[in-house]
Structure 1
Amino acid sequence: MTARPRLHDLLRQKGSRKWLQLHVDNGEEAAAAVEAGIVILSCEADGTLEAVRAAAPSAFVSVGMVHGSVASPDEAVRAGFDLLRRGADAVYCSHSPRFIEAMAREGIPVTGHVGLVPNRAAWTGFRAVGRTPQEAARVLRAVKDLENAGAACLEVEVVPVQLAAHITATTPMLTMGMGCGDACDTQYLFSCDVLGSHAGHYPRHARRYDDFVALMAEVQARRVAAFRAWAAEVDSGAYPAARHRIEMSAEDLARAIELSRLA
């Protein structure tokens, strides 16, 4: 088994290599990702974490702290330690830098987020962020705030490639790039987009490499067909057949009844 990379290992190699990163939804996807050579994963903090950790013990896993699940830096510290105890290598946090600083001060590796931050999209909309000098400057200030707070990793989502490259070259944080070309330290996508496993909107930066919607529709149709076939055989008497039954003689049944009365 390949050794599990630690934060120190990743930061030590920053600038000398790039990694693939995948957000996975279950243990099966995590195992497939590792088998495909992907060693940096992310997942949600619900029951998914334990399944991902068990399926991918050699992966570095950044786990999302649900936005709004903590209301103070102290709560963030407690929640962060709980995620580490459950198997996280880093804690993704889209809260303000004061929450991140509290966790970082206690040695919890934290992943911050700049650019298109879905949990803050009320202020930006779901669009590319940083196309104008003024907006790019705000992104850079946010990067510096997270860096000063002690974040170890930084998700950079849907910003201009040039801006992402500048951030990656000038910050010690490991940059996790989604929709930023190949500028960041990791090339990051969601498994549901790669697999084509949903019928919703696919971001412009995503690419489908399979069609799991069609595959699962076929699987569901085959489920229905199998259940109907079973129901039809029960109705016709073909099931259960002799090979599906266990028999006993009339004499043995009579003896069992007699023994039960003596008990």
Structure 2
Amino acid sequence: MYHNRPHVEDIRAMKKRGEKISMLYVTTLEEAAAANEAGIHMLSIERKYWTPEMREAAGSCFVQVGLPYGPHGPAGAKLVTSEDYLRAAFEAGAIGADCYYCAASYDIQKAMADNHLAVVGHIGLIPSYITWTGWRAVGKTGDEAAALYAHAKKMEEIGVFGAELEVVPDRVAKHLTENSSLIMLGMGASKYADAQYLFTEDVCSYGVNHKPRHGKVYADLGAKMKELQDARIQAFKDFKSDVDTGGYPEACHSVPIKDVEYDAFLKSIED
């Protein structure tokens, strides 16, 4: 296992020293390997993508494995109860997970923390709770900001390690980060969060979904990937056409047999 990758205590020490933490959401072996090669500190990888091969590709990166609601695991295993989450976390840990994203209820988060698992919660714009807020910044009123602070303090109390801090106003994010032991993984939460967290599809500009305000393109790979896909499709079409017309396979693609050997074969199977 990768003994040189950071541990929870190392991430906490980075917060205390005021060091910035880089974090990416990845879904493929190539993305994970590129992040490791680039020296990215943390990766977020959903449970459905988490395999021993991904752990190897992630190398020295500290990996958060996402445990979202619903059928996102092997054989469509659902996460509903504390036991479900614990089982999924221990399975992910056996592969080499370093912490576990869980936006479920406090009792589930506490059960995980009580079992010495490093839990990452969620504050602000939480996709799984989106019906309560809509797609908007959360914490722009005094009451909402106070609710975010109370949420952070409750997670501290039950032993949660960190929280994704998503689309929260800058001064509120600063106050939460400076007045909480949680590692604040900022996504659209200003420069004051402990970590700056982006999706690879936004960094590389090949996403097809809405591009968030906090997204920043560092390489425009979208056009290149479309060009590659177009070329792949054309190659497949040419192959199909060749098969349809008898152009493939040609003699050079087949294995010949000498006449004498073929005659011997026929003679050997004669009645």
Q: Could you state the TM-score of these two structures normalised by the residue count of structure 2?
A: 0.88
Deviation at 1:2, TM superposition (A): 8.3
1:26 matched to 2:35? The reply is no
* Counterpart contact for 2:69–2:80, Cα < 8 Å: no
Residues 1:240 and 1:187: Cα distance change in structure 2 (over 3 Å): same
Deviates more, 1:12-21 or 1:66-75: 66-75
Deviation sequence 1:157-211 (CA, Å, 0-9, x none): 1111111111111212211111012111111001122122222211111122334
Aligned residue number for residue 75 of structure 2 = none
Gaps of 5+ in 2: 71-77
Deviates more, 1:60-69 or 1:117-126: 60-69
Aligned residue number for residue 64 of structure 1 = 66
Corresponding residue SS for 2:16: coil
1:51-130 alignment runs, 5 A limit: 51-67=53-69, 69-130=78-139
Distance 1:21 1:218 in 2: 28
Q: Which amino acid aligns with 2:81?
A: S
Identity %: 38
Deviates more, 1:105-114 or 1:49-58: 49-58
Corresponding residue SS for 1:14: helix
Deviation at 1:129, TM superposition (A): 0.8
Deviation at 1:113, TM superposition (A): 0.7
Residues 1:58 and 1:210: Cα distance change in structure 2 (over 3 Å): same
Deviation at 1:61, TM superposition (A): 0.7
Distance 1:24 1:97 in 2: 27
Deviation sequence 1:212-251 (CA, Å, 0-9, x none): 4422321222123223444555567654444323222211
* Counterpart contact for 1:44–1:63, Cα < 8 Å: yes
Aligned residue number for residue 35 of structure 1 = 37
Distance 1:179 1:61 in 2: 20
* Counterpart contact for 1:26–1:48, Cα < 8 Å: no
Q: Which amino acid aligns with 1:141?
A: A
Distance 2:82 2:247 in 1: 65
Residues 1:78 and 1:230: Cα distance change in structure 2 (over 3 Å): closer
Aligned residue number for residue 47 of structure 2 = 45
* Counterpart contact for 1:177–1:184, Cα < 8 Å: yes
Residues 1:168 and 1:51: Cα distance change in structure 2 (over 3 Å): same
1:115-154 alignment runs, 5 A limit: 115-154=124-163
Distance 1:167 1:96 in 2: 20
* Counterpart contact for 2:36–2:59, Cα < 8 Å: no
Aligned residue number for residue 12 of structure 1 = 13
Distance 1:56 1:223 in 2: 28
Distance 1:233 1:78 in 2: 51
Residues 1:247 and 1:75: Cα distance change in structure 2 (over 3 Å): closer
Q: Which amino acid aligns with 2:13?
A: R
Aligned residue number for residue 189 of structure 2 = 180
Distance 1:235 1:127 in 2: 53
Deviation at 1:111, TM superposition (A): 0.3
Corresponding residue SS for 1:189: strand
2:172 aligns with one of 159, 163, 168: 163
Deviates more, 1:62-71 or 1:169-178: 62-71
Deviation sequence 1:2-27 (CA, Å, 0-9, x none): 81111111112213211110010111
Count of equivalent residues: 262
Q: Could you state the TM-score of these two structures normalised by the residue count of structure 1?
A: 0.90
* Counterpart contact for 2:50–2:92, Cα < 8 Å: no
Gaps of 5+ in 1: none
